Amino acid sequence: MSERTNLVYRYDGSLPGLLTCVFYSIADKEIPAAVLPFDSEERYLYPEREICTDPAKARRVAVSIPKKISAAAWDLVWRGYLTCHPQKDKLIVDFLRLGYRVGGKAVDMLGDDTVSALTKAVYHLNREAHLLTGFVRFSIRAEVMTAVIAPKNNVLPLLAPHFRARYPEDSFMIYDKTHGLAYFYSRGKEALRMVEDMELPPATAEEMQFRRMWKRYYDTIAIEGRFNPRCRMSHMPKRYWDCLTELNPEYTEMPTERSLPHGAV
């Protein structure tokens, strides 16, 4: 019996939902032409099948990946889900179908278009997460360290362990405004929450003073004769500059009287 290919899967966009898609793809002998979240505006002429997330089926798939393929395959799937690749859902379904067929060697089959595309997407995810371990800038707001980032990929799950280990005795929050996701940590307790719209409290006068000191330090240590904008942009891509204290003037502008907290001097 040949496998059906002329249909599109729609699911809720969650990782358990995607793993449920994998389950039905294999169980019902279907190779979907596309796998799309419910809110995707992309349309195909093929009929659509709505896949409802089934935690039990998703768990079966998750447990089977390291057993029947490899632990590296599960890591590739999990990280692949965090990428911003527009076809990541389809790539993951196709990769797991391949993995169940050939086993652990699937992750090394870079000549395969699916494996190659998924591996490249994960490489860019890992690179962005690595860059942001150095680009995150914290400010004190309402007595809590807060930071705002705007990454292409969903890197917060990868950044959380780094900053949790760096500030184990502190309280902090990192807000990803691109994906509407926030990570909260306070002395061993943590939470990763979806947030529709977060309005941060204004920075205090003391915080603004520290920002200006940091900007002054950044400008002072620069060597004018070796200024190389192209080199700087290769190491510190311009799309991150809006969230960097030293490069976004809004972070160091003097607060107006209206924005100063009561009692500030």
Give 219-260 pLDDT, tens digit per residue.
888 777 887 777 767 777 878 878 887 777 777 664 443 333
pLDDT for 263 equals 33
Residue type, 206: E
- Percent of the chain at pLDDT exceeding 90: 64
pLDDT for 26 equals 95
Averaged confidence pLDDT in the chain = 88
- Percent of the chain at pLDDT exceeding 70: 93
The answer, yes or no, to whether residue 157 has pLDDT greater than 70, is yes
In angstroms, the CA 85 to CA 108 distance is: 20
The answer, yes or no, to whether residue 85 has pLDDT greater than 90, is yes
139 neighbors 169 (Cβ within 8 angstroms): no
136 neighbors 147 (Cβ within 8 angstroms): yes
3-state DSSP assignment of residue 148:
strand
In angstroms, the CA 208 to CA 260 distance is: 10
6 neighbors 46 (Cβ within 8 angstroms): yes
| Tens digit of each residue's pLDDT (9 = 90 or more) over 203-227 | 788 888 888 888 888 888 877 788 7
Give Cα 143 distance to the centre of its chain.
26
The answer, yes or no, to whether residue 88 has pLDDT greater than 80, is yes
- What confidence category does residue 34 fall into, taking pLDDT thresholds of 50, 70 and 90? very high
